[in-house]
Each structure stands twice: as C-alpha cells, then as structure tokens.
Amino acid sequence: MKFNTKTIHGNQHPEESTGAVMVPVFQTSTYAQNSPGNHKGYAYSRGKNPTRFALENAIASLENGTHGFAFASGLAAIDCVLRTLNPGDEIIAGDDLYGGTYRLFTELFQKYGLSFQYVNMDKPENVVNAISIKTKLIWIETPTNPLMKIADIEAITKMVKQINNTILVAVDNTFATPYLQRPLDLGADIVMHSATKYLGGHSDLVMGALVVKNNKLAEQLHFIQFAAGAIAGPMDSFLALRGIKTLHVRMQRHCENAMFVAQFLSSHPSIETVFYPGLTNHSNHEIAKKQMDDFGGMVSFRFKEDTKTAAFSFLEKIKVFTLAESLGGVESLANHSVTMTHGSIPEEERLKVGITDSLVRLSVGIEDIDDLIADLDQALSK
Ligand SMILES: *Cc1c(COP(=O)(O)O)cnc(C)c1O
C-alpha cells in the first residue's frame, strides 16, 4: 500500500461484531470471561483495549513497524523508553530538544542514575565521539524544536551500530511525522511521537506513541506500558485514529503553506534569520532533502532586533495565528520559545544553542495561505 492509502486502511479493519467502519470507543475497563483466564484476548484495559489496539496497529503501519504502543502523553512514551535502561547507563541526546524531554531527562531520570550527554547532532561524528562503554541509547530529534536542526538518522545509526550494535537508536518523529520521514526504514530501533501534534492533528487530545519492529523490544515496551500504566484512553485513541486518516492531506497543505511563510519571512526587512529545512540556505538542507519527502509545517525565526519586545509586539498583534503552546493542529499557532515551551531550559543552555530572546516558532496551519501571509504582514508592520 502507498502511504496515502495506509493512513486510511493500513492495519485497519471494520469492527468484527458489527461491521462498524470506524472502530467504536470501547469505553470499558474490563471484559467478561467464560471461565477463569478464558477470555477473548481482552482481560483489563490497562493491558489491552480494542480502540487503543486499533490505533496502535494503525500507527505501526504508518511507520513500517510491527508493534505500536499508545500512551497518555508524548512524555509518557519517552518515559517508557527510558525505563528499559538501568542505573549507570548513558544516553546521548541532541542539544536542541523539546523542553519537556530535556526536563524529563535532567530533573527526573538523572536522579535515578541515568546520565545524559547533549551533543550537536548536525554532524554524526559528534555522536560517535560521545559514545562510551556505558552508552545504551541515542535520542535523536529531527527536525529539532525550535531551531529546526536536522540530524542524519541513517548516517548516525550506521556509525553507532558499527561501534556497538546493542546501542538503541530512538527518534522523536513528532515534527516530521511518517508522512515525511520513516526512521525505522533508516535503521532506527524506536520511533516516538507526541501524537498530541500532527498525528492527532486537531488540538483536541494529549497522547504519545512508540513504534518498533523488533519482537523482543516490543515485548519489553509492552511490559512497561502495562506495568507502569501510562496508557492512552479509548476516547483519545478514537480521536487519534480519526486524525491519522487525514494525515497525508493535512501534511501536504502544512508543507505548502510553511514554505510560503518561510519565503515571505526570509524577505522581510525586520527579520534576521528564518529556520526552515526547506530553505536552500538552511545549514542541513541537503540532508533534509535526502531524508524527508518534504519539509514540514514548522518555521522559526529571529528578529534583527533580538529582544523580547520585538517578539512580544508581533505576538500581541497576530489575529489568524493564535498565540499558544503546542503545534501540529489544523490551525496556525505562534509561540515565544523562551517564555513558553522552553521556559524549563536554563538561560545559559538555551543561548548556547541559539534560543535567543526574539525567537518565534510558528506552527503553520492549513488555512488559506493569503490570510496567513496577510496576518504575518500586518503583525510585522511597525
Ligand atoms: C510536544 C512534544 C513532546 C511531548 O509530548 P506531549 O504529548 O506534550 O507529552 C515531545 N517531543 C516533541 C518534539 C514535542 O513537540
């Protein structure tokens, strides 16, 4: 099946007992048994729920994996991956991570004896140079949030596996979605999503997902999902399942609109830099072109006057864009990284990677491009 068919039919089937084309919301915690231990595959919904199971299979199909797992949030999905590790293990992660991921690493898991190294993954050599005997996991985010840096998944995976093929490579594929990039095909072991964003696509749920293609790893993740219990609920699973059926059409428009927005901003006199992997002046444009089928819906930019005042003045004037955290929904959003999504990153750290005071991140929605450009234009005018 081609991707655009898979979003609608991949691993998806009408519900068996009634033929319902959309899998119903199985809003139940438990299931009747004929005799003790004799049931229809469902015993208790923390372990397995038909709506969640349908979604997990659908996401696995999109990522070309064999097993999917849905969680209460994206961070719960990352938490599940980290629980496969042991005290003393080391993780190498990108230096421009989603703020909540960084917080989970530094403020929770470091306490339990895991250690983290943050490297610029623009160059695969930086990852390789950081590997030690204790390294067990490589955590890649690409494109990164909010600076849209690109890591070469295939090159990193190849080099890491050559040194030690037991090191797991995980990719946060939230920004790209499987419409643009399929990390398992590039050699990664685990794909992670904040399904809150593009997979759900309508800003109406919070959810996370993992996909793998290795049975042993799947067993391990399934055990942790069951034992720790941060599962996605049936109603949210239904909404996410509905969301992914239009992933390809939404993503196509997100990409088109974002390219227009990036070009418009690039030519605006009050803007210093636009961060969008689709622009030929982006530092890793060539890798993005090779690795992704298009460049996504996220665009960041910095003002020439690199102050909070410059960013705030713009953010208070936008009308079609909504000033809000999150991304990936049909509506366009704008975000001030320093005060909003990346508030948990110490100033010294964020300045080192380039998250400066005037940095604005746009999640370009699927509205008419003329209205989006007109809105940006009026909000940027003095
Ligand atoms: C939002 C986000 C997360 C966290 O997901 P939640 O669903 O908010 O828990 C992780 N990674 C990226 C890239 C995100 O944008």
229-262 pLDDT, tens digit per residue, is 999 999 999 999 999 999 999 999 999 999 999 9
105 or 347, which is more confident? Answer: 105
Q: What percentage of residues in the chain have a pLDDT greater than 90?
A: 93
Report CA-CA distances (Å) from 331 to 98, 198, 243, 315, 347: 21, 11, 14, 16, 30
Indicate if ligand 1 lies below 6 Å from the C-beta of 142: no
Q: Is the pLDDT of residue 294 over 80?
A: yes
Q: What is the pLDDT of residues 86-113, one digit of tens each?
A: 999 999 999 988 989 999 999 999 999 9
- pLDDT higher than threshold 90 for residue 188: yes
Confidence of residue 328 (pLDDT cuts 50, 70, 90): very high
The answer, yes or no, to whether residue 202 has pLDDT greater than 90, is yes
Site to probe by mutation for ligand 1, drawn from 121, 194, 345, 361 as the one with most ligand atoms within 8 Å of Cβ, is: 194
Regarding the beta carbon of 98 and ligand 1, being less than 6 Å apart is answered: yes
Edge-first strand order for the sheet with 298-303 is 271-275, 298-303, 360-363, 333-336, 322-323
Mean pLDDT of the chain: 96
* DSSP string for 347-381: HHHHHHHT--TT-EEEE--SS-HHHHHHHHHHHH-
In terms of Cα–Cα distance, which of 209, 236, 225 is closest to 27?
A: 236
**For residue 315, what pLDDT band results from cuts at 50, 70 and 90?**
very high
Alpha carbon distance 320, 371 (integer Å): 7
- Distance, CA of 278 to CA of 247 (rounded, Å): 20
Angstrom distance (rounded) from CA 93 to CA 110: 13
Q: What percent of the chain has pLDDT over 70?
A: 100
Q: How many residues does the chain have?
A: 382
Nearest CA to ligand 1 atom 2: 194
pLDDT at 352: 84
Is pLDDT above 80 for 69?
yes
Asked whether the predicted pLDDT for residue 350 surpasses 90, the reply is no
Residue 285 has pLDDT above 80, yes or no: yes
Distance, CA 142 to ligand 1 centroid (Å)? 13
Task: Please work out whether the CB of residue 203 comes within 6 Å of at least one atom of ligand 1.
Answer: no
Instruction: Give the confidence band of 343 by pLDDT, cuts at 50, 70, 90.
Output: confident
Residue 363's DSSP bridge partners are: 298, 333
Across the chain, the runs of DSSP E, i.e. the strands, are 67-71, 90-94, 115-119, 135-141, 168-172, 190-194, 208-212, 271-275, 298-303, 322-323, 333-336, 360-363
Output the pLDDT for position 195.
98
Question: CA-based Rg of the chain, rounded to a whole angstrom?
Answer: 21
**CA gap 86, 70 in Å, rounded:** 23
Whether 75 is in the pocket of ligand 1, judged by its Cβ within 6 Å, is yes
Is the pLDDT confidence value at 345 over 80?
no
Task: Note the pLDDT of residue 71.
Answer: 98
- What's the sign of the alpha-carbon dihedral 290, 291, 294, 295? negative
Ligand 1 touching residue 194 (CB < 6 A): yes
Is any atom of ligand 1 closer than 6 Å to the C-beta of 337?
no
* Model pLDDT, residue 347: 86
List, in order, residues 6 or more apart from 348 with CB less than 8 Å away: none
State CA 221 to chain mean position distance. 18
The yes-or-no verdict on residue 313 having pLDDT over 80 is yes
Q: Is the pLDDT confidence value at 145 over 90?
A: no
In the reported structure, the alpha carbon of residue 103 is separated from the centroid of ligand 1 by a whole-number distance in angstroms of 12
What is the average pLDDT across 275-283? 96
Q: Is the CB of 328 under 6 A from ligand 1?
A: no
pLDDT of residue 96: 87
Which residues are tagged catalytic?
46, 98, 172, 197
User: pTM (2 decimals)?
Assistant: 0.96
Q: Among 69, 71, 73, 75, which residue has the most ligand 1 atoms within 8 Å of its CB, making it the best to mutate? A: 75
Give the confidence band of 314 by pLDDT, cuts at 50, 70, 90.
very high
Confidence of residue 344 (pLDDT cuts 50, 70, 90): confident
Determine which residue's CA is closest to atom 9 belonging to ligand 1: 74
347-364 burial by CB neighbour count: b if 16+ within 10 A, else e? eeebeebbbbbbbbbbbb
Ligand 1 centroid distance, CA of 293 (Å): 22
198 within ligand 1 shell (Cβ under 6 A): no
Tell me the CA–centroid distance for residue 202 and ligand 1, in Å: 15
Q: How confident is the model at residue 353 (pLDDT cuts 50, 70, 90)?
A: confident
- Cβ–Cβ under 8 Å, residues 220 and 84: yes
Cβ–ligand 1 contact at 225 (below 6 Å): no
pLDDT computed for residue 77 by the predictor: 98
Question: For strand 208-212 and strand 67-71, is the pairing parallel, antiparallel, or unpaired?
Answer: antiparallel
Backbone φ and ψ of 24, nearest 5°: -65, 165
Give the pLDDT confidence score for residue 342 in this predicted structure: 77
Which of 82, 101, 199 is the best mutation target for the ligand 1 pocket, counting ligand atoms within 8 Å of the beta carbon and taking the most? 101
At 7, which helix (H) or strand (E)? helix 3-9
Q: Indicate which atom in ligand 1 lies nearest the CA of residue 326.
A: 1
Quote the pLDDT of residue 24: 97
Tell me the pairing of strands 333-336 and 360-363. antiparallel
